[in-house]
A and B are shown apart, each in its own frame.
Chain A
């Protein structure tokens, strides 16, 4: 069941100010994390990632994930400090057709003489609020014993 992207997460995905990291693993489990400014909301609850390099580690790892049911992680850090992690699965790669062409044209208009290898569609499975106060509140609630005693000393 795909996770729902709330309007604040969609805003984070679509903001040019947001730092966007895509983390994938290869066939041997080796991780790869790369900044992907091209990552954005697909408009239908999915996330789209423009891949400019056919043989990049991310592109190969996404292929491995779609072939073998693997997942990816996306970390977003907004200008206002809002931090979110999205776990999801690549479900489709567009290498031709109207969606691909739209991005190809736009990418070349905005970035100059670039090529586009494909547009990946990621379906989100889980959206985790990673703001520190939220993470800490979750940790405190789940593990109240994890605390240095000096913090509760009289």
Chain B
């Protein structure tokens, strides 16, 4: 499989050939996409140049990485235009980009050629501290260049029913993190509150908070317990701010109107995201069997639309795993058809005030789709442009999920010019 992957990338049109087809697409964003698609490998020189006092090393994350390992490597990269690249270390034989250290700088190499200069993420000052309960704060709240991530629990009840999403490795990864580095299964609100308080002492570092976890289907009504957890957590976090509302994003299950109203009224939350993962009813049924059985594609969509009435236009989004619509055997056979179908659905959602962002699909070793192949760079470029054009044409902003607040969506990177 590994050797095959290498051949596949080499047989593709080169980066420059693909870019020549898209002269109005920013080269740096295309580079980000390609790096995310293929992963990175750090040379020995780069590893030696990493300074744990200055650079942020990998912290607990909700999903696993494509090398399937937890090693003290850099968390991720920044490009010279301020673009974040969230990317995993990847085994060399899968033909990833290489991060090297040359003439006092970190550089990105493709096939031995220097293609960009990169920065490592700076380490936030709270990372070396412990909570009063004795836990490393970096295990409680993890940082991006400008965002605090709270992964409240990394268990997903769809997995318990053997109906987890097929691209997802959340539970595999949770077990690994718990066993290897002692990350707690579930966070206590007081630890989170204390860590956030410490983090926001650093001037000019963080611009928002993002909470996410696996789905909790339990409760009187489905997801009641999940909502309860988030309310408790958001209220604890909110005690750190003098305003009732604070810039924040919750990526969670598809809640009903009563649950959403509670979240909005009882906490400082400002935006809500629930991921459809794939914008096609049939594929949703195949790829996200738990979501499909318990809520359904139409039901999930309707809950997104209902959320706009509560959180407001431009504050509600759905994430998709860009490219998973081409997974085989049931996915689209042609990239053209996959794109048409995805963009048509995104347009339907945007017309109702819901913004769609994508992440680059990486077939991870801990997921059911581990042996699949992600689509071409050309596909991801068209998807980014298509989603951003739709957003702009409906006058939708994406402030809660843009290049600074999140940094993981090539399409919302393009919103910088909107």
A and B interact: yes
B-side contacts of A100, CB under 8 Å:
204
B-side contacts of A68, CB under 8 Å:
26
Size class of A's contact patch? 20 to 34
A64-B417 contact given A95-B146, A97-B122, A101-B203, CB 8 Å threshold:
yes
Q: Which residues 55-101 in B have Cβ within 8 Å of A in the complex? A: 78, 80-82
Q: How far is the CA of A104 from the CA of B122 in the complex (A)?
A: 15
B122 and A98 contact, CB distance less than 8 A: yes
B-side contacts of A63, CB under 8 Å:
81, 416-417
Residue of A nearest to B117 (CB): A92
B80 and A104 contact, CB distance less than 8 A: no
Decide if the interface of chain B is mainly helix, strand, loop or mixed. Answer: loop
B145 and A101 contact, CB distance less than 8 A: no
A-side contacts of B27, CB under 8 Å:
67
- Whether, in the assembled complex, B190 has its beta carbon less than 8 Å from a beta carbon of chain A, the answer is no
B203 and A92 contact, CB distance less than 8 A: no
A-side contacts of B81, CB under 8 Å:
63, 66-67, 92-93
Q: How far is the CA of A98 from the CA of B146 in the complex (A)?
A: 13
Q: How far is the CA of A64 from the CA of B146 in the complex (A)?
A: 22
Chain A: minimal CB distance from B114 (Å): 16
B-side contacts of A116, CB under 8 Å:
204
Residue of B nearest to A121 (CB): B80
Chain B: minimal CB distance from A49 (Å): 13
Q: How far is the CA of A67 from the CA of B416 in the complex (A)?
A: 11
Q: How far is the CA of A101 from the CA of B146 in the complex (A)?
A: 12
Chain A: minimal CB distance from B81 (Å): 5
- Whether, in the assembled complex, B404 has its beta carbon less than 8 Å from a beta carbon of chain A, the answer is yes
B80 and A105 contact, CB distance less than 8 A: no
B203 and A104 contact, CB distance less than 8 A: yes
- Whether, in the assembled complex, B370 has its beta carbon less than 8 Å from a beta carbon of chain A, the answer is no
B-side contacts of A60, CB under 8 Å:
416-417
Q: Which residues 67-100 in A have Cβ within 8 Å of B in the complex? A: 67-68, 91-98, 100
B-side contacts of A92, CB under 8 Å:
80-81
B-side contacts of A105, CB under 8 Å:
203-204
B203 and A97 contact, CB distance less than 8 A: no
Q: How far is the CA of A104 from the CA of B416 in the complex (A)?
A: 21
Report how many residues on chain B are interfacial, defined by Cβ distance under 8 Å: 20
- Whether, in the assembled complex, A27 has its beta carbon less than 8 Å from a beta carbon of chain B, the answer is yes
A96-B78 contact given A63-B417, A101-B205, A105-B203, CB 8 Å threshold:
yes
B-side contacts of A131, CB under 8 Å:
none
A96-B417 contact given A101-B205, A105-B203, CB 8 Å threshold:
no
B82 and A67 contact, CB distance less than 8 A: no
- Whether, in the assembled complex, B119 has its beta carbon less than 8 Å from a beta carbon of chain A, the answer is yes
A96 and B205 contact, CB distance less than 8 A: yes
- Whether, in the assembled complex, A124 has its beta carbon less than 8 Å from a beta carbon of chain B, the answer is no
- Whether, in the assembled complex, B45 has its beta carbon less than 8 Å from a beta carbon of chain A, the answer is no
A96 and B122 contact, CB distance less than 8 A: yes
Q: How far is the CA of A68 from the CA of B29 in the complex (A)?
A: 11
**Interface 1/0 per residue, A90-125 and B, CB below 8 Å:** 011111111011001100100000001010000000
**Interface 1/0 per residue, B118-149 and A, CB below 8 Å:** 01011000000000000000000000011000
A101 and B26 contact, CB distance less than 8 A: no
Q: How far is the CA of A118 from the CA of B207 in the complex (A)?
A: 12
- Whether, in the assembled complex, B28 has its beta carbon less than 8 Å from a beta carbon of chain A, the answer is yes
Residue of A nearest to B146 (CB): A96
B28 and A95 contact, CB distance less than 8 A: no
Q: How far is the CA of A1 from the CA of B204 in the complex (A)?
A: 33
**Interface 1/0 per residue, B387-418 and A, CB below 8 Å:** 00000000000000000100000000000110
Q: How far is the CA of A45 from the CA of B414 in the complex (A)?
A: 30
Starting from the known contacts A60-B417, A96-B121, A96-B145, 7 additional A-B residue pairs (CB-CB under 8 Å) come to A67-B28, A91-B80, A92-B80, A95-B82, A96-B78, A98-B122, A101-B205
Chain A residues within 8 Å of B, Cβ to Cβ: 27, 54, 60, 63-64, 66-68, 91-98, 100-101, 104-105, 108, 116, 118
